Structure 1
């Protein structure tokens, strides 16, 4: 019986003689034994990727950790997907391409004949439809201090998954805006931009200019007087209008017959 020590590979020739106990009746022969290195097979494969869930228009690289490290053939060329309608995979590189919403397993199989394989689950989700444009509008582009104005955002496309926006003012000392409703309150004279920004992560925004003017001080009372309350035919008399308050923006008056209010 011959046992290799494991330190030698190649051919070994042995000679032997057979004797039946009678002189001159010997027989001899030789035998050649080929000693080859024992192949180390793959015993385990672990499959991994950075993401376990991707949208249906994305790709993802999968990797295989093959053990033991001294396996004679650690190549994994047999990549496959358990559901190719959900995702396909390049059989050589392990690059996965998402196809449609659903679940699949990405499988790596050893090519050394050991039939060892490993897999990792992958979820494919529907692609998010992002906002592409926002148009901001209002009934008035100029308002007075202390007035309010409702601003509106037209978000496109209409089938975007998340069409919500947040509102802001580029100059809050001129006008503030409710972040949720878009209702603007004028603060002081000046100019600002009212901005609507998408909340879906697209970072798309739209804006509209707003001018705030000083509040108009209106006339509150007019007292009319003259030197005489009675004059004769063909005489003239100067009437005077006392307009209050004195700082009204427009204190001009027109004279005419009294206005009858019913």
Structure 2
């Protein structure tokens, strides 16, 4: 599963299904640089909980829109910080992909499972490989947390706004995630309860983690943008221009963005 992103792609369309049908622009939202501190200390998640609890005043008072500029100047992020951010984001893209695969390679493909009763009689039935599913979900959560940690150190407004929107999407799905053993901490990080996930209805787990429009799909999309923004920041620092003398997604105009992750 992949998304083809070119220099002339209307990015806002990618997020319409993730935001109640309302487009929120590149990366899915507009936030100020102050959001990076909110991600780090967990207050952003609290703001989102307030929002989805119908307390829109609390959100509007605490979050402000940022002006989007097209600057030829790199942010203050160092090369090592950008490299770490790209590495974390690319890892999240890959771990999400392991959940999103369909067909014979899907971690959610039912298989023959043999069990024994108390008399030692074997019985083979079709079922989900809960060990493999837990492993994939746990890796996804770990990579998600790594991206938040890296984004919290970034001064790149595009990175911060996209990471903020990723947190927003996660909080919006908090109840469903809780049903499958995934909880959101005060620092916005995810934790996975192995027993609860394995005991959950696997069709619910699959609906959250597999297929277009799923939670994992939305996170993967945002992770790909975070990686792109970090790469563009490095290009700014090294003087690499796009076709229109700006540092934009046109740097990726001739192929799938995912090719750079494999």
Common fold by TM > 0.5: no
Find the structure with the greater CA-based Rg. Answer: 1
Q: Give the TM-score range, shorter chain.
A: under 0.3
Larger strand share, 1 or 2: 1
Larger helix share, 1 or 2: 2
